[in-house]
Each structure stands twice: as structure tokens, then as C-alpha cells.
A and B are shown apart, each in its own frame.
Chain A
Amino acid sequence: MELTLDRVTKHYGSKIACDRISLTLHPGVYGLLGANGAGKTTLMRMMCGVLVPTFGSITYDGIDVSCEDYRDALGYLPQEFGYYPEFSALDFMLYIATLKGIPKLRAREKARELLELVSLEKEAKKKIKTFSGGMKQRLGVAQSMLNDPKILILDEPTAGLDPKERVRFRNLISRLGADRIVLLSTHIVSDVEHIAGTILVMKDGRLIHQGALEEIIRTIEGRVWECIVPQALVDSLCERYPAINMRQEGKDVFLRLVGDEKPCDSAIAVQAALEDLYLYYFSEVNAK
């Protein structure tokens, strides 16, 4: 079971949204991180056959992304999409099941099971137009799993979920990752921090990092600093170093910074976390 991307590229006019991305994915959970506009959605859409790459190929065990067999193995939750407002949640699930070619009886069973999994079993008969944002998002997650996909691609699946559902979702994903390829994108670093076996970091259409959490964090190990400085110093420090955290402490300000050298005398080196990395790469300071 292997999903291979070979120099996948997408151009929008002169804009390069994805630039020669090569990847090989095996069963497990992959977290895709990147700032707004990094090209995450574009990449995922190409992996789902919704967009055709300008260049490059995507294959799953030798099956091209444009084949029906590829889509048969695929589950996809788009970042944002429309529902049929007059359909009930169950109708919607059954419709998607039909589109996925699942036999009727099995579809009904599976739909109920999944609605329960995302705690929508009570709302199954309600029209989707009466749903809240988070409920719709859960329904979206449920539909993506209808065909027991071998490749599960989720674009910001946790957006809009409340903390309780978020925890449920995280557990669900780590369970699913055991025997399939799960790729999820998010801005909420803590969502992937503990469940993603591999972290992929995208910036400006390119894949800049790829590896296990520890490996990735190692790149900024020893470069995360915390200090408490007077208000007057804050601006100059923040201009030079990406600030990860900032908090008023009495008259002074607590700062967490990333920098190659010690930013100020009072600074102490601390252990790096994924969020530090994320902010380090995507902060304004670094972009300059």
C-alpha cells in the first residue's frame, strides 16, 4: 500500500500553487502544516482527482489518480463544500454511498454506524440546513469514511469542532491510521502533534520539511528562548526574532522567541515544540 507523488506541480496562471512535490506515503497518519495559501488544499485536491496537476503524477499502488479504482479507495473531506440543504443527514450519507458504489444494505448499515461515530445519530433524520457549522463538519468527516477508504484525505477536519469532538476525532484518526494512509491538513498544531507519525511542512507551494515530530523539531532544538523583558525592548526583539508567545507580566513582558543566537542576556533556552517550528517558519520576521 503506497501512495506516490512524483514532481506534482500546479500552476494557476503565473502563480505556482504547488511546486514539484515528490512524496511517498505508507499507512499511517500524516499531518500537513502550512500557512494560509501555502498550497495544502491545492495539493489535496490533486490527490483526490478533483484538480488535474499541471505536471507530475500521482499513483496508488500503480493506479493513476484519474482511475475509478483510485477513487474507489479514496475518502475525501474538502476544506469547504456544499450540502444539499433539503436532504437529511442520513439521506446525504446514503447519496454519497451510492456515488461511492456501495450496495444499498451495506450503505445503510455503514451510514448509521458512522453517524454514531461522529455523534450525529440523533440528528440523522434532520435536514442539513438546520445543522450548525460543527455538525456539518462532523457529517463531512463521516461521509469521507463511508467506503472504508484506504486513502483518507482530510482538509482541515477539525475546523469548527468543539474540544470534546476534537478529542474524539483525534482518537478516531490515530485508530484509522493503523492500516491506511491518512493525510490531514490543519492550522491547529496540537491536533497533529500527537497523532501524526509524519509531519509535512509546506511553504509557498514547496514541501520544506518532512519527517517524524522529533526529527522536525530537532531543526530548531536549542533555538527556542524564553525571557522576561521590559516593555521598551519588546518591539526591537520582535522585529528581529519570530515571537511565539507574548504575555504581559506586571510591568514586564514575557516572550518566547526563536533565534539562532541568544536574543538577550536574561533569555534561557527551552525545549522546542511543533508550534515553535510552525511559527518559526511562517512568521513575518522569517519571511523577510
Chain B
Amino acid sequence: MDTEKRLKTTGAASLTELHATKEYILPDERMQHPVAVIECIEAIPCNPCETACPVHAITVGSEITNLPVIDIEKCTGCGLCVAACPGLAIYLKQKNYTKDLSYIAFPFEYVPLPEVGQSVNMVDRFGLVVCEGTVIKVVKIKRFDRTAIIHASYPVEQYEHVVNMQRLARN
């Protein structure tokens, strides 16, 4: 079921669609720290990711509808682009945080926020729960302008599938 173009029919891109886009770069096990992964595959007039990056690791260029291109060698994993992206289309990932766990840091704009150490349901691009994850850090600083960034670890088998976590119930 992952063979069709799905972004414009079901709302989220399939892996096939992403893999066909050269701008989608998923770091492999050689990367020693989390780096930005961008899932922005439509030509829209937008470039805050580029202007947010202090080390110029993201390039959109003078034509603001160009797709953003990341240089993962330059990326320090600071997360500024994650919070700056109005499309919430960027997260940080590292395949081998430990031997068995991958690492993700994703934008989250729902309340309540999870707590450090909490076990949460990790979801794929279609909102399906694919595994559990453990919250490592919840970063909410002024510079992120009310977008929290949640850092979590989860089983390496789901490395590429996980993109975010399920909303928590309100009390």
C-alpha cells in the first residue's frame, strides 16, 4: 500500500514518495548525533528553516519556492529549524542512539506536554501508533516561540517510520 502517491490524497507522504525526493535525507548509523530531517516535498513559498539555521546547513536559495536542502555534515542538531518551520516538517533523528534505540526530537504544539521519563505512543506519518517511546527531554524555550520540542528514544526497528507522538488525553 506504500507504492502510490499519497500526499495529495491521504494527507501524508508515503515512504516511496519520500524516497523519490532527493531532498529527503535520512541519516544512517554512521551519524554520531541527531541531525535535522526535512519532509518538505512541495514547492511552497517558504524559507524560515534556511534563515533559522546558525550554521547555514539548510539551503532554499533565492527562489523561495525551492525545496529546502540539508547538508547533514554541517548540522549540529541544535533544533532551531525544527521550531522555526511553520509546516512542522522538520525533526531531528539519529539511528543508533544506543544499539537498540533510535532518537527523535520533534515539534509538538498540543497540551498537555509529556513529562521526562514518560512512556508515550510513537506514531507514523499516518497517525498509526507503531511503538512506544520514552521521553528524554522536553524543550520549551522562548526562542522556539511556544513550539515545544520533545526528545524521545524508541526501538531502532521503527527508525524511519516514527515521526511524532500521539496527543495525550486532557484531564
A is bound by B:
no
| A residues neighboring B (CB under 8 Å) | none
**Chain B residues close to A by CB (< 8 Å):** none
